[in-house]
């Protein structure tokens, strides 16, 4: 797979990058984010590694747990 730049990055890659960055900015572990979003910690990790095709409902749960708009998780450029 070719390296992706921010402009042609897939939605799954953007979600993974933004989720990891926002979680780290808040000092949250994957386990804590999992608890806040009512998702398992291994699920959060697999989303960050782009191993899952995440449902919109779960993206919304993660956004709510991070207290951000769902659009922020899918943004091409970090906000």
Domain boundaries along the sequence of the chain: 11-74
The residue whose two tokens read 């900015």 is 25
Is the pLDDT higher at 79 or at 41?
A: 41
> What's residue 6's pLDDT?
52
pTM, rounded to two decimals: 0.86
CATH class of residue range 11-74? mainly alpha
Q: Which residues, other chains included, contact 60 with Cβ-Cβ below 8 Å and sequence gap of 6+?
A: 70
**Average pLDDT for 62-76:** 96
pLDDT at 5: 52
With cut-offs at 50, 70 and 90, classify the pLDDT of residue 19. very high
Q: In angstroms, how far is CA 65 from the centroid of its own chain?
A: 11
d(CA 9, CA 26): 24
């Amino acid at each position: 797979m070719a390296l992706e730049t921010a402009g042609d990055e897939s939605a799954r890659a953007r979600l993974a990058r933004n989720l990891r960055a926002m979680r780290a900015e808040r000092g949250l572990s994957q386990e804590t984010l999992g608890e806040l979003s009512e998702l398992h910690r291994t699920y959060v990790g697999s989303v960050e590694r782009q191993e899952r095709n995440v449902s919109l409902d779960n993206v919304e749960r993660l956004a709510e747990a991070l207290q951000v708009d769902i659009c922020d998780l899918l943004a091409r450029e970090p906000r």
